[in-house]
Amino acid sequence: MTAPTPLLVFAGSTRAQSFNRRLARVAAEVGRAAGAQVTLLELAEHELPLYNADLEARGTPDAARRLKEIFHAHPAWIVCSPEYNGSYTGLLKNTIDWVSSPIKGDPEWSSGTKPFAGKVVGLLSASPGALGGLRSLSHLSPLLLNLQCWLTPRQFALAKAGEAFDAEGRLVNATALAAVQGVVEQTLHAARKLNAP
């Protein structure tokens, strides 16, 4: 029997009522239903300072090392990206900057692309606006491609997110849920194919 595919799900937000954190929880449930071994990562639990090479020279933060390990351990990811001023968040960029920065003299993390290379990434976004955060995904895609990730052709941006969830955090629209399922399932399928023995 094939082992469950490890799937990492996280949002580029730490806001308590974040629509993208809600969407990440939906995606995590979809992943579990599809047979994946899901890790729902909360970036608030891995607080990092603003990336600065002088600060890094004094020692890579423990949170950055932990995130490198978490990212590397999962062949499949779902990233839920909020949209700030037509792009992804500073939090998401700062996390990627720390995780992709090589640790000099460390044999395990001397390559900055190690946590990213070959990962299959499905992109989701949620926004109160009509585009659902779609512009953030168009900016995030080239960043992840530069780090040697594989991006799934399917992406989904949830528009009018303020009306999209019920009191328990479930998506109220079946079409929206099917779109999330499509991204998650394509991500898992591609990761299994790329990592087949």
Terminal CA-to-CA distance of the chain, rounded, Å?
13
Residue 74: which of 108, 41, 104, 123 has the closest Cα? 41
Structure tokens at 177: 């849920």
- Going by C-alpha positions, the residue among 24, 109, 123 that lies closest to residue 66 is 109
pLDDT per residue as tens digits for the range 177-190: 999 999 999 999 99
pLDDT at 196 over 90: no
pLDDT > 70? residue 44: yes
Please give the class, per CATH, of domain 6-194.
Answer: alpha beta
* Residue that wins the pLDDT comparison between 1 and 173: 173
Determine the residue type at 75: P
140, pLDDT greater than 70: yes
| pLDDT band, very low/low/confident/very high, at 1 (cuts 50, 70, 90) | low
Q: What is the pLDDT of residues 118-127, one digit of tens each?
A: 999 999 999 9
What pLDDT band is residue 2 in, cutting at 50, 70 and 90?
confident
Measure the CA–CA gap between 152 and 155, rounded to whole angstroms: 7
The domains of the chain are located at: 6-194
Cα angle: 130, vertex 135, 139; to 5 degrees: 170
DSSP the chain: -PPPPEEEEEES---TT-HHHHHHHHHHHHHHHTT-EEEEE-GGGS--PPP-HHHHHT---HHHHHHHHHHHH-SEEEEE---BTTB--HHHHHHHHHHTS--TT-SSSS-TTTTTTT-EEEEEEE-SSTTTTHHHHHHHHHHHHHTT-EEEEEEEEESSGGGTB-TTS-BS-HHHHHHHHHHHHHHHHHHHHHT--
Sign for the pseudo-dihedral over CA of 39, 123, 23, 85: positive
Structure tokens at 122: 């499905």
Q: Which residue has the higher pLDDT, 195 or 144?
A: 144
Q: State pTM to two decimals.
A: 0.96
Q: 68 and 37 in contact (C-beta within 8 Å)?
A: no
Q: How many percent of the chain have pLDDT more than 90?
A: 96
Q: Please give the mean pLDDT across all residues of the chain.
A: 96
pLDDT confidence of residue 169: 96
